[in-house]
Structure 1
């Protein structure tokens, strides 16, 4: 982990530079912060009370350093680490990853939404209060086959629905307007005479069925072909679920309510997603997430599943409607997976 911290410190500057905006009453760090403490600031993104005890830095200083460090990370890395593919070739590269690792064609990302639990925000009223009787902020994300975040939107109030949030995001609007620059529809491999199939995201059965968003068949209609399709789609969806769990394993701040202002929570969540991507990109290991054996199609559970605390962390957000064309495209995939 230390080499990742070294890279970050070199990119965003020392903690002394990060806190240069403090007023004279708060300027208690006259000497440059030693490297071991710089690393500690980056590694201890956890609920603030334990952090304050662990870092041996004054409370008024650390409560400024953590948000400012997160802001510096977001400023330095957001366009680089959370950049949505902009060209058909870039989307196809994502799709190749899903086909290689999960044997599912035309997938440009796995989508899901999670609740980030908050302490009751000052003057927040009921805006962040949801049906589970907690205060939440929604983290909406799309992950690729290697457990990296392709797209992140955080900050929607907890009472809003997943799809309601998604269609208001930049990527959601681009997809609805057919301006996301996805690859052109193509027939599936081995089905040259078949109908062309759009490139699409995958999600759970709480989502609507659209041309660019595929979901499972409902459980009330379960012939064998539907079961095969649902099984394959469920395996692909593991990527975003695993991505969230790996994130929560690395950053324990997600294990409990975050006691910061909503704007600071947004910045902190974005920073952790960026750090997650940096670690995944610089690591050749995939053991943290589930893997599929290509020959037997068996699933090897990821290492995050050994942490029982993660099962309850980041609860899922829960809407629906489908177009006729989207249903026809789902049937094309069903026949594809059922064919010899």
Structure 2
């Protein structure tokens, strides 16, 4: 039989490894156990978390889920018909043997990419883990289940509907928001490019930036809670994928509603993210441009504007 002491240490090591960022060798030395024993406990517990908790804390979105996310974004971030904020994070790893430049990214480190779609309360709704660090965020998204599902319209996204109290603008599709690393689509809004923009376009960029901050905040909370993300992870990429999945699941598990209300509330009220330069010659469809123009018109209308937006936009 396995003793209670053995079970305690079996579950202690993964928590200490994720939360402290200590190396497996240091943990093994601290508890006077073998390196393989500590490593196996970390791998097994992370795999068990992924297998046993993913359906509850990272479920496949449903139409009701999308509507709930959109309603919460409108209430908290003043952005209607919003499916979530999309972005990628590089998880730095030790260079795998014989991997060439596959994991080598533009930051001059070796990494895998975590792509996340985050709701208004900093929860991950969809994630993609394990793509090579050399792959761009847009490339990771295009090859992900989320990207293919949105393109083929198989993710049960609700039908287009009018913006709040703005039926005269017509029906507008539900959309994600992202930065300029992603192409403009009817279901994905990005900022207007350039500097000499009209007041309406500047307001749109501010409102989109304000809503998009949630994904940056979610990555920040994830890394602060699990400090393993502040160091170079010296594991095989397969084990890193499982570890990142487990960390995201535990992030959703630990983020209680009461914590969401107060978390970063004061800091986020009127802040704007730094502008992102245009990162390519993406050619958007007329439909996507029309959807973005509709949002921009709504944000400068009496029913869609917020009292502080003109102060935040510097002409």
**Superposed CA RMSD:** 2.3
How big is each residue's C-alpha offset from its partner over 1:115-149, in whole Å with a ceiling of 9 and x where there is no partner?
A: 01110112222211123221110110101111110
- Residues 128 and 288 (structure 1), Cα distance of their counterparts in 2 relative to 1, 3 Å cut: farther
Segments of 5+ residues of structure 1 without an aligned counterpart are: 1-15, 17-29, 302-317
Counterpart of 1:40 (choices 12, 17, 27) is 12
Give runs of ≥4 in structure 1 deviating > 4 Å.
53-56
- Residues 271 and 330 (structure 1), Cα distance of their counterparts in 2 relative to 1, 3 Å cut: same
> What residue is the counterpart of 1:111 in the other structure?
86
Counterpart of 2:58 (choices 53, 63, 82) is 82
Alignment of 1:162-173 (within 5 A): 162-173=137-148
Could you tell me how far apart the structure 1 residues matched to 2:138 and 2:200 are? Answer: 27
Between Structure 1 and Structure 2, how many residues are aligned? 291
Q: CA deviation at 1:41?
A: 2.5
1:152 is paired with a residue of what secondary structure?
Answer: strand
Segments of 5+ residues of structure 2 without an aligned counterpart are: 273-278, 303-315
2:115 is paired with a residue of what secondary structure?
Answer: strand
Could you tell me how far apart the structure 2 residues matched to 1:252 and 1:211 are? Answer: 37
- Residues 338 and 55 (structure 1), Cα distance of their counterparts in 2 relative to 1, 3 Å cut: farther
Could you tell me how far apart the structure 2 residues matched to 1:98 and 1:191 are? Answer: 17
Counterpart of 1:284 (choices 229, 235, 258) is 258
- Range with bigger deviation, 220-229 or 48-57: 48-57
1:195 aligns with 2:175: no
2:85 is paired with a residue of what secondary structure?
Answer: strand
1:327 aligns with 2:289: yes
Could you tell me how far apart the structure 1 residues matched to 2:31 and 2:263 are? Answer: 30
Contact 1:109 1:143 in 2 (8 A): yes
Could you tell me how far apart the structure 2 residues matched to 1:337 and 1:42 are? Answer: 46
**TM-score, structure 2 length as denominator?**
0.86
- Range with bigger deviation, 164-173 or 251-260: 164-173
